[in-house]
Amino acid sequence: MRSRYDETEEKKAIERWGSAGPEALAQRVYTSRLIGAEADLVLHGGGNTSVKGQHTTLLGDRVDCLWVKGSGSSLDAVTPRDFPALDLAYLRRLRALDALTDEEMVNQLRTHLFDASSPNPSVEALLHAFLPHAFVDHSHADAVIAITNQPDGVARAKEALGDRVAVLPYIMPGFPLAKAVAAAYEASPNVVGIVLAKHGLFTFGDTARESYERHIELVDACEKYALERSKRAMVSVSATAGGADARVAMAAPILRGLLAERTSSADVPYLRMVSDHRGGIDVLAALDAPEAAMLARSGPLTPDHVIRTKASAVFVEAPAWSDELKLRTQLEAGVKAFREAYDAYFERAVAARGVTRKKLDSAPRVVLLPGAGILAFGKTKKDARIAADITEHTLQTKLIAEGLGKYEALGELDLFDMEYWSLEQAKLGKGAERPLERQVVLVTGGAGAIGRGIADACAEAGAHVVIVDKDAGAARDAAVATEKRFGSGCAVGVGADVTDEAAMRRAFDAACVAFGGVDVVVPNAGIALVKPVAELSAAEARRVADVNYVGVLNAIREGVRVFRAQGTGGNVVINASKNVFAPGKDFGAYSASKAAAHQLGKVAALELAGMGVRVNSINADAVFGYGEVGSGLWGEVGPERARSRGMAVGELPEFYRERNLLKARVEAGHVGRAVVFFASNATPTTGATLPVDGGVAEAFPR
């Protein structure tokens, strides 16, 4: 590992952030980001850094101050705002106490902030306070972990780094660790860093650069030590990376169903998770290593991973890729064994610690599938990605550690303390969930005006959205727009023609690879044709029916395939039309095909209720666009519709508004909200039709 420090960049950082506090804080932000940029050092919120200086109070007093990273923020993107300022002199006095509970420690930190609106300081804030140095850097470097997660880890760290560091055995973060680190430093005041076995590395210095570069030097020494001594040979890849996606599409929905937690609510019977897949060559090679299965069952690299990945992964030996039934049996057995082992671990730990705790869910977060890769799960795509990132590093680091000697993780009681530590759980955040949280919505015709309105409304309600459109580029653009509004990872775009059975199958497979499955299918793609029945050719009628009716059938059928694999019910919400009840002349091909789709929905409602799948329809009146995006359908048929009504095209929106009871302009967002209503299981409703038309008497459902 090499230093990324650059004097010019540091100057730029001071220009950028210097006004937010002392110059040293801007330097602190700069080198913190250098550490954050190195995935081999820290991942997602791991590690923390600090700087000491002087703070001027409102009364003009100059007081000693500690700026330490806030809990949960990620080093790669920190700003001065992420470093709460604390009363350093007071914090140092706490060291005289014999003990300090976690709750009281958090209280002491919060009540000694200089700005009440600051985020919570890192749980390791006191450790930073008790060390005398201006700058302190802490990471969970893979190389340090590979050396210290060994039965003789303390001795190996000393061998690798000599007397430049002090080495401590594992101590849980919090007040006792803060005191132990300060004492270790005072006993050997010449050290430049402290290794915490099975946890990570601290370094310190007088300048941001010094502390950072000492960190990199020590990690580099550990990397060299590990690579020179590790017997781990490169393993060849037995599976082709190309086939991984098809395998994931098969396994992911089954696993997603097995991992969903049953609730006591009849309306929302499952709490689902979404997945993230990693299937690179190095991942597949690692999973083919003979020791992979054993290592998958061993504990995490560093204790705070446990809240993201649980303590171990499910490893499926020799998955039956050519036999879906057998594969299901294997996955069921793997998840069942994991849940049983988790329950037993929980019982053992609460008994051994003599505490009462509310048990967390027993579902695994990581499933390792040789030949397919890593499937990581979480409440959101972001959570799943974090678990997948950690797992990629974990696989490689464990293999190197095993090659070095014997990989040994923390004991289960230490992991339990961390997993059930309130300060760690607080990082995951709680709060009320949005109505479509944990669900995956697939919408066809997703790049059109109504499709985008539906996608955005669902994403806003917490769903992950698969935007399917005949135009693959437009589908991707729409997904990017939705991600911009509602967060990275919430949407993907997939190109598929709804009339093409194979393409629709691939689109649903893509949804399974992207998010693990599908819970809500919204057949929305549609085309129109203005022509009187007397002049309508068979070919024209077929073309419209193929999209508006057969396209709906293809979407529902493929959706049911995924619903079956998951076994957790689902929703189909068909975008039909006000025309179903109130047809207009010259619109025969359109109205008849929409009526067919609507009727198909009712039959599907009858057939699918047994598996917990609801099928409902939305009858919207004319929607002319969504933001900048005009309606493709109205762009095509607008002029002729206007002509048959004897008006100019520009007058159409006003005509449609005037003719409904509420004088409402029907918008794409309204259709989106209706989808959210049905998909959230707010009422026990299936086979129903909800008009979104401002009230058109002749289109009242009957």
Round to whole Å and give the CA distance between 296 and 510: 27
Residue nearest to Zn ion (CB): 200
Give the contacts of 99 (CB within 8 A, at least 6 positions apart).
175
Question: Position of tokens 């002392």?
Answer: 22
Round to whole Å and give the CA distance between 151 and 504: 53
- Closest approach, Cβ 387 to Zn ion, in A, equals 18
Q: Sheet of 440-444: strands edge to edge?
A: 491-495, 464-469, 440-444, 520-522, 570-575, 613-620, 689-692
Pick the closer one to Zn ion by CB: 200 or 495: 200
Look at strands 625-626 and 629-630 and give their pairing: antiparallel
Give the number of other Cβ atoms within 10 Å of residue 235's Cβ.
17
Q: 225, 407, 590, 656: which one is catalytic?
A: 590
Closest CA to 310 of 240, 356, 361: 361
Count of residues that bind Zn ion according to CB under 5 A: 1
Look at strands 491-495 and 464-469 and give their pairing: parallel
- Closest approach, Cβ 194 to Zn ion, in A, equals 12
The separation between CA 643 and the C-alpha centre of its own chain, rounded to angstroms, equals 50
Q: b/e per residue, 129-152, with b = 16+ CB within 10 A? A: bbbebbbbbbbbbbbbbbbbbbee
Pick the closer one to Zn ion by CB: 200 or 638: 200
Closest CA to 274 of 131, 402, 387, 398: 387
Pick the closer one to Zn ion by CB: 36 or 200: 200
- Closest approach, Cβ 521 to Zn ion, in A, equals 44
- Closest approach, Cβ 68 to Zn ion, in A, equals 13
- Closest approach, Cβ 405 to Zn ion, in A, equals 23
Concatenate the DSSP letters of all residues of 268-316 into one string.
S-EE--EEEEE--HHHHHHHHSTTHHHHHHS--SSGGGHHHH-S--EE-
Round to whole Å and give the CA distance between 295 and 301: 11
Closest CA to 513 of 496, 488, 499, 494: 494
Amino acid letter, residue 391: T
Burial of 236 (0-12, 13-18, 19+ CB in 10 A): exposed
- Closest approach, Cβ 191 to Zn ion, in A, equals 18
Round to whole Å and give the CA distance between 35 and 43: 10
Closest CA to 480 of 518, 511, 452, 520: 452
Closest CA to 621 of 572, 587, 589: 587
- Closest approach, Cβ 386 to Zn ion, in A, equals 16
Is the Cα torsion angle 541, 470, 608, 328 positive or negative in sign?
positive
Binding track over 198-237 against Zn ion, x by CB under 5 A: --x-------------------------------------
Is residue 5 among the annotated active site residues?
no
Question: Position of tokens 């049911």?
Answer: 560
Closest CA to 365 of 516, 142, 149: 516
Binding residues among 173-202 for Zn ion as defined by CB under 5 A? 200
- Closest approach, Cβ 122 to Zn ion, in A, equals 9
- Closest approach, Cβ 184 to Zn ion, in A, equals 16
Helix and strand tally (H, E) in the chain?
26, 22
Catalytic residues: 590
Binding site for Zn ion (CB under 5 A): 200
